[in-house]
Amino acid sequence: MDRLRNFGFLLKDVSRLSGLNFEREAVGLNLTLAQCKVLIYLQQNEGISQVRLAELTDIDPMTLVRNLDRLERDGLIERRQDPADRRARRLFMTAAAQPVLLEIWRIAARARAAALAGLSAAEQNLLVGLLEKVHANLTTLLPGAEAGAPPCPPDLSDDPAPPSTPELPAAAGSSKKASR
């Protein structure tokens, strides 16, 4: 059987399993995977509109509003009126979000390490490099489909295994809570 025929299915299933693995690692965080993804993208895009954040995160706008309501209620984000468009709202992180974001990145590092266990550092870099090439091919083929650059983790040099690439899978629509 031609293994390449399963490429799309394999990629989708790796994303699904990666999301479940993140949720397993995130027990006790009391945030969904989608909420974590929103916080990570917002960290890199302070002042972004809700519409643009929905595009970046690939979350349905109505679902995103519910996530934002929860994050605002928890004091992690704030919505501000857009000075150029009174119908639009801009999104900002609060100081209370910073420790939560650090924990999300630590969880992502653990989840990534578990997913890549058994691969050497060279194999891990090769895997990511090849996926980046496929990503570049697809964004060239599909102009306008590129939502934006993936988020970059902060320097967690105090951690034994700092993250080198983002590990928030595409399965952001997951509504399972990561709680104890």
Going residue by residue through the chain, which has 180 residues, state the pLDDT in tens, using 9 for 90 and above: 688 999 999 999 999 999 999 999 998 999 999 999 999 999 999 999 999 999 999 899 999 999 999 999 999 999 999 898 888 899 999 999 999 999 999 999 999 999 999 999 999 999 999 999 999 999 999 887 765 555 666 665 555 444 443 444 444 344 444 443
Query: Would you state the CATH architecture of domain 3-168?
Result: Orthogonal Bundle (1.10)
Per-domain residue ranges of the chain: 3-168
DSSP three-state, residue 41:
helix
Q: What is the 3-state secondary structure (H, E, C) of 128-179?
A: HHHHHHHHHHHHHHCCCCCCCCCCCCCCCCCCCCCCCCCCCCCCCCCCCEEC
Q: Give the pLDDT score at 178.
A: 44
Between CA 161 and CA 166 the distance in angstroms is: 13
DSSP three-state, residue 46:
coil
Predicted TM-score (pTM) of the model is: 0.77
